[in-house]
Structure 1
């Protein structure tokens, strides 16, 4: 979770809240089966095999105050409301706990002494964190969640421009509080904290206009706020997130890039750069927020600091034995300058450009910009919707092609200037289009290369027909389009 305080948790005495062992015994007696207790630094969760009962600890931290019963009740209600946005099938209701602290119970009469959020318990091994540890986290699940997150963010309300959330000052304050917390909880980290503080401040000063622009453009939205691997779950119906931030609006009213950066960072920290960039590729493709690449690296580093803070608050009891060093080291690495490079693809439809680009971005940590997606976005068409455009009309008219390549150029420049290796996935059959992107790389002083793909015409036709029949690809190129491409393509020059 996102934690910002310099203070470790102040444990409450048993008189301030229910005796969790007594509540567990009551539940086991009522249900006639074993109940498991899971504990975090701010909550207890009782798992009875069918339901999960989440009770907030009566603790005070710098970033939350659960000392009073009314505050805990209000946060339970807010947790239910917020998490039903992404996981309505998991979050059932808020249940009062009655009796007395030494003998609490979920039934009976009397004034409530505590509250619990009642959820459906999902199967063990369903969390991204569990699947990653078991080596079973599939790229398909990661991409499905990327699409789910993008759809959620596109529908989420934007923050009022006068609200403090997402401002350069708030971004700086969040970062400073996380670093302060690490210094207070782990004194040996002070030299690292001092160095990181300076580097973050330099980055934040340079990015201040970008942070302001993000807010003006409406990209500060009511999101999740805590998208680490243990908060994403594979259900029968969908891959989604749960357990969002409910106790502080400022921790969930954040830049969409900040929200997505958490999961990408966590995958990087666990040595799965391939999945991290598969996630970013699918998410950016669905959301279209390539302008946000200017701030993404900052937020990736910030999220690594947040996870290091959580580990510090837990007093060294980390989720895994190497998590702390990985997060701290990753935060440092993410703030280092990188040499971007530009690669464009070349080849007719069905030649394997997109497949090759997707494999390459996993290995190189690159951002991919796809013509098939951006062409449809320009015309307000969904990625998998069909425009039924005729040759030389609609999406395949000359002006549509010109607009598409102009947009690809614009986005490639944004990505490169933000320091990201960039792949532009398009046919690039015209020499003039290739030369324009070569000139862009030269102007920005970055390496340039062309990834050329080809196949026998029979194979090209088979691939296109099969792809069209599946209906699961944004490309609308059919065999008619292929014929036009084959007859009109301009060959690559030797230089």
Structure 2
């Protein structure tokens, strides 16, 4: 009988299996690159990056983790080649190839003839101030950039190959148990009582959504994704957000539910306090996705928690390469991500969750809410919804926003800002739009997320119908009607650009003649400011 494979012997620091000091010294020397300026070095748990002149060289660390094995030279070479192939496909011109570090008669050299002792990914150097983590730190995540990032995520998943039948629940279980084991092994960083509670709640959450995850796998929502979609791995190139540094070392880790892939980005924004951006990307992603994506929201709290847990253990693994102030800052990040791991689980569902238009077996202790906001065009409904959504509900990243203008465009298969023809606003079309809003709201509530339905809701029967959705779902309902002076409505719609609404001054004047009937919803006369 063959003995099971054992992890390689560690030699220096947590998870490190070989000394790469000579290689790192070579790449850190400006003379190696024929430049006068200092080489900038950036370290992570899995790589060392050297920024030299117009190029960057990335060396895989000689480390062994249960989730990432770079313990041999051949494995590091293969990982470099895979990174160029996989990440290069989504970032044309950024990845330039794999360069060997060779031993010559005169010592180590970057490239050339000789025995290869290490390999590096060669990249076109970009301004590190243009990665989204830096942009976020400067407070420069503009609404237009957020919109572009959401489109980037949608396009990345549309292009990712499907992996139908992949056992995503089984993979998540492995990640969860590995993470819990890492936490348990470091009581100096992760309190044992908190780890035990996290393990209990996380395992229960995974058990509840296991049938849902299997159904999503069969339906094509599991794909070979980027796998590491957080802010530091997105850079502005030629003014557009570009994903780079995908998971290349393990195809199974990169194969996942698309919402699990997206969850890394949402978690990263949320834990930074950028909740408006997280919610906006969340909703824009859903607007561009198949309706069945809404059913997957039942698993999103677990996805977010797992992503935070992975970041906590990765940051903890990197402590071995740091000292002094850098180590203290990293330890603070570890503690922060661990707290997020617990907080992002939210309120667990008490019963199994179905796939499709089914409902949960029992109401959660803290229930979602159905909000409806109404008012004539230009009254500020969408502004109110976008402002309130990040803070509504008990689950990150806030409420799902269903907007009639968006759903009408989706009904006619046109882009968000493309103007619809007059027939799209015919009398028989609006009931279809409102019925669609109600149908989608039911799916969101069944996934235990709060939902905001943003529509004019001019007719009493439209307001009654959306209220009935809440009653049927057994959740609280809140209705808000926005009253704004006629001249202000006209001014706002005339100032709009790049918005999903096609309403103009003529539409507003027509709406002003509506018989609104009795409005029982809370009425607000405060004129909310809206962006043009």
TM-score by length of 1: 0.89
Q: How far does residue 245 in structure 1 lie from its aligned partner after superposition?
A: 0.7
Aligned to 1:446: 475
Q: Secondary structure, in 3 states, of the residue corresponding to 1:250?
A: helix
Where does structure 2 lack aligned partners over 5 or more consecutive residues?
1-6, 321-326, 348-365, 393-397, 522-532
Check 1:102–1:318 CA distance in 2 against 1; reply closer, same or farther (3 A cut).
Answer: farther
Task: Please state whether the residue corresponding to 2:513 is helix, strand or coil.
Answer: helix
Rounded to whole Å, the distance in 1 between the matches of 2:33 and 2:57 is 15
Q: Which residue of 1 aligns with 2:271?
A: 269
| Residue among 18, 35, 42 paired with 2:39 | 35
Higher RCO, Cα 8 Å, sep 6+: 1
- Structure 1 position 384 matched with structure 2 position 433: no
Pick one of 282, 285, 291 that aligns with 1:283.
Answer: 285
Question: Aligned in 2, Cα 1:490/1:41: closer, same or farther, shift over 3 Å?
Answer: same
**Cα separation, 2, equivalents of 1:493 and 1:29:** 73
> Which of 348, 354, 359 is the matching residue for 2:387?
359
Relative to 1, partners in 2 of residues 1:67 and 1:434: Cα closer, same or farther, differing over 3 Å?
A: same
Decide which of 451, 455, 472 is 1:426's aligned counterpart.
Answer: 455
Consecutive unaligned residues in structure 1, runs of 5 or more = none
Do the aligned residues in 1 keep the contact of 2:130 with 2:236 (CA within 8 Å)? yes
Deviating more after overlay: 455-464 vs 296-305:
455-464
Taking the aligned partners of 1:318 and 1:405, their CA distance within structure 2 comes to 54
Which of 248, 253, 256 in structure 1 is aligned with 2:255? 253
CA distance in 2 between counterparts of 1:291 and 1:429 reads 29
User: Offset of 1:10 from its aligned partner?
Assistant: 2.9
* 1:165-204 → structure 2 map (5 Å cutoff): 166=168, 168-186=169-187, 188-204=190-206
Deviation of the 1:180 alpha carbon = 1.6
Confirm or deny: 8 A CA contact 1:37 1:47 kept in the other structure. Answer: yes
| Count of residue pairs the alignment pairs up | 479
Determine helix, strand or coil for the equivalent of 2:42. Answer: strand
Do the aligned residues in 1 keep the contact of 2:179 with 2:310 (CA within 8 Å)?
yes
Pairing 1:78–2:107 present: no
SS at match of 1:314: helix
Spell out the pairing of 1:178-327 with structure 2 (5 A cutoff): 178-186=179-187, 188-288=190-290, 289-315=293-319, 317=327, 320=330, 322-327=332-337
> Which residue of structure 2 aligns with residue 488 of structure 1?
514
Distance of aligned partners of 1:319 and 1:81 in 2 relative to their CA distance in 1, 3 Å threshold: farther
Change (3 A) 1:493 1:151: same
CA shift at 1:179, angstroms? Answer: 1.6
Farther-moved stretch of structure 1 (77-86 vs 196-205): 77-86
CA distance in 2, matches of 1:104, 1:143: 47
TM-score between the two structures when normalised by the length of structure 2: 0.83
User: Which residue is equivalent to 1:412?
Assistant: 441
Name the CA distance, whole Å, in 1 between partners of 2:232 and 2:105.
30
Q: Are 2:58 and 2:120, in contact at CA under 8 Å, matched by a contact in 1?
A: yes
- 1:109 aligns with 113
Following superposition, the deviation at residue 184 of structure 1 comes to 2.4
| Contact 1:19–1:101 (CA under 8 A) maintained in structure 2 | no
- Deviation of the 1:419 alpha carbon: 2.4
State how far apart, in whole Å, the 2-side matches of 1:52 and 1:169 are. 37
- For residues 52-78 of structure 1, what are the alpha-carbon distances to aligned partners after superposition, in whole Å with 9 as ceiling and x for unaligned? 111112222211222222222221121
Alignment counterpart, residue 330 of structure 1, candidates 337, 340, 347 = 340
Task: For residue 199 of structure 1, report the CA deviation from its aligned partner.
Answer: 0.7
User: How far is 1:439 from its partner?
Assistant: 1.5
Q: Which residue of structure 1 lines up, in the alignment, with residue 529 of structure 2?
A: none
Q: CA deviation at 1:489?
A: 5.0
Q: How does 1:84-103 map to 2 (within 5 A)?
A: 84-100=88-104, 103=107
Aligned to 1:13: 18
